[in-house]
């Protein structure tokens, strides 16, 4: 018995240092511990991607830190960087079919671990971290606010303007850009309402969003606490959702050809502009929708148009103006117009003849 114990002790002296060395060289979440999760023979692989937000339903991304990914059963791990916008994905974008545990970490704070049972073509994971407030910053005299505009189907809204007002104070934003982002700068502390500046795009906010900015670098949006970050201090309002309105009206249809005489490519965005009265140069044309995509073979169909005159312009074009006499007149550059003014009546479809874009 003593001989067996001696033999076991000798083996342990040789094996234990090897185990400790291996653990030291391959901690969970280390680069060396990360594996490619290579699939076994005939094993399916699926795409996995995800994002990390600060708190549930805020839409505010965590843009620094890592996500730990561990395969259940094998114990293999990957450490994935959190990229701009809070996004992450495996090294090659896919993983073998199986069960995985994901956990995010940022600024020393970890999210709750989340189980992912990878069984489908694409799996989208969202992790949430309750980050601590930033260290105290001296109160600012003014703040910026930013966020995203989305419709009720989670599509970005571009081309919309908002207005923010407080008593007699009123400020307009720049137009929201292609991914729905907007920015309003230099707001002093106060109580504000954020509302649609131009609802001709076919969206309706309902009641205005209510924003309260205090001189202690904090704000409340609809009862949700915000903290200012960055330089200059900026509040991220997250997602502002606007529902689509049902606009009664008519339709405009036809085919558009490009400069080469061929149908405009499918998916080309164009913008329909509207005025109420034919030939009225003194009414500023307003976009009905932020953009409409051309369909197959250059076919364009725009519906729910308020009665009046409609013009189709290239995306990015805007009406220009000049003072003639004592009045302002509006016009488009010739190269910006795809389809000239056509009259649309409620309940009817107006067909425009096939048109060639002019240089």
Q: How confident is the model at residue 29 (pLDDT cuts 50, 70, 90)?
A: very low
Average pLDDT rounded to a whole number, residues 128-146: 74
* 260 and 235 fall within a common domain: no
Q: Is residue 31 part of a domain?
A: no
- Final residue of a domain: which of 128, 155, 179? 128
Pick from 68-82, 155-169, 264-278, 307-321: least confident: 155-169
Average pLDDT rounded to a whole number, residues 268-275: 90
Q: Is residue 104 part of a domain?
A: yes
- CA–CA gap between residue 260 and residue 273 (Å, rounded): 25
- CA–CA gap between residue 110 and residue 101 (Å, rounded): 13
Give the chain's domain count. Answer: 3
Average pLDDT rounded to a whole number, residues 1-5: 48
Q: Is residue 39 part of a domain?
A: no
> At residue 23, does pLDDT exceed 60?
no
pLDDT, residue 271, reads: 92
Average pLDDT rounded to a whole number, residues 130-153: 76
pLDDT, residue 137, reads: 62
Chain centre to alpha carbon of residue 24: 41
pLDDT, residue 28, reads: 43
* 235 and 269 fall within a common domain: no
pLDDT digits (tens, 9 = 90+) for 53-70: 876 545 578 888 999 999
* 92 and 61 fall within a common domain: yes
- Final residue of a domain: which of 103, 128, 153? 128
Beta-bridge partner residues of 218: 227
Total-model pTM: 0.38
pLDDT, residue 122, reads: 65
pLDDT, residue 27, reads: 39
* 212 and 286 fall within a common domain: no
pLDDT digits (tens, 9 = 90+) for 273-285: 988 776 677 788 8
- CA–CA gap between residue 60 and residue 27 (Å, rounded): 30
* 61 and 122 fall within a common domain: yes
More confident residue, 302 or 3: 302
pLDDT digits (tens, 9 = 90+) for 63-102: 889 999 999 888 888 899 998 878 888 877 888 998 999 9
- CA–CA gap between residue 36 and residue 98 (Å, rounded): 14
> At residue 301, does pLDDT exceed 50?
yes
- CA–CA gap between residue 269 and residue 316 (Å, rounded): 10
Q: Is residue 349 part of a domain?
A: yes
pLDDT, residue 59, reads: 59
Q: Is residue 1 part of a domain?
A: no
With tokens 């929201």, the residue in question is 176
- Final residue of a domain: which of 224, 244, 264? 244
* Domain CATH number, residue 255: 2.60.40.1120
* 315 and 265 fall within a common domain: yes
Q: Is residue 138 part of a domain?
A: no
Q: Is residue 15 part of a domain?
A: no
Average pLDDT rounded to a whole number, residues 123-140: 71
* 233 and 284 fall within a common domain: no
Residue-wise over 301-328: b if at least 16 C-beta within 10 A, else e?
Answer: ebeebbbbbbbbbbbebebeeeeeeeee
* 216 and 257 fall within a common domain: no
Q: Is residue 257 part of a domain?
A: yes
* 105 and 155 fall within a common domain: no
Residue 21 makes CB contacts below 8 A (sequence gap 6+) with none
Mean pLDDT score across all residues of the chain: 78
* 206 and 156 fall within a common domain: yes
* 121 and 205 fall within a common domain: no
pLDDT, residue 74, reads: 85
> At residue 45, does pLDDT exceed 50?
yes
Provide the residue range defining the domain that includes 150: 143-244
Query: Would you mind telling me the total number of residues written for the chain in this entry?
Result: 359
> At residue 12, does pLDDT exceed 90?
no
* 89 and 170 fall within a common domain: no
* Domain CATH number, residue 176: 2.60.40.10
């Amino acid at each position: 018995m003593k001989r067996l114990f001696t033999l076991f002790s000798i083996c342990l002296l040789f094996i234990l240092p090897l185990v400790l060395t291996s653990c030291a060289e391959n901690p969970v979440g280390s680069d060396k511990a990360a594996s490619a999760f290579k699939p076994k023979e005939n094993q399916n692989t699926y795409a996995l991607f995800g994002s990390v937000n600060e708190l549930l339903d805020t839409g505010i991304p965590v843009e620094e830190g890592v996500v730990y990914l561990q395969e259940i059963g094998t114990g293999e791990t990957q450490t994935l960087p959190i990229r701009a916008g809070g996004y992450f994905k495996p090294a090659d974008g896919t993983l073998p079919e199986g069960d995985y545990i994901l956990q995010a970490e940022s600024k020393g704070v970890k999210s709750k671990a989340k189980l992912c049972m990878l069984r489908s073509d694409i799996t989208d994971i969202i992790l949430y971290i309750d980050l601590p407030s930033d260290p105290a910053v001296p109160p600012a005299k003014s703040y910026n606010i930013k966020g995203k505009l989305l419709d009720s189907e989670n599509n970005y809204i571009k081309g919309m303007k908002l207005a923010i007002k407080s008593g007699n104070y009123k400020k307009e934003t720049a137009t929201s850009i292609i991914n729905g982002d907007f920015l309003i700068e230099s707001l002093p502390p106060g109580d504000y309402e954020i509302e649609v500046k131009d609802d001709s795009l076919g969206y309706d906010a309902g009641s205005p969003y209510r924003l309260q900015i205090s001189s202690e670098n904090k704000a409340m949006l609809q009862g949700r606490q915000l903290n200012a970050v960055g330089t200059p201090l900026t509040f991220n309002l997250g997602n502002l959702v606007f529902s689509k309105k049902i606009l009664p009206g008519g339709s405009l249809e036809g085919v558009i050809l490009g400069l080469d005489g061929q149908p405009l490519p499918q998916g080309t965005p164009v913008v329909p502009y509207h005025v109420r009265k034919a030939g009225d140069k003194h009414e500023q044309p307003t976009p009905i929708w932020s953009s409409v995509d051309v369909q197959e073979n250059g076919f364009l169909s725009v519906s729910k148009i308020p009665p009046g005159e409609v013009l189709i312009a290239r995306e990015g074009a805007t009406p220009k103006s000049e003072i003639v006499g004592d009045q302002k007149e509006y016009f488009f550059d010739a190269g910006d117009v795809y389809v000239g003014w056509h009259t649309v009546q409620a309940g009817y479809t107006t067909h425009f003849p096939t048109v060639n874009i002019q240089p």
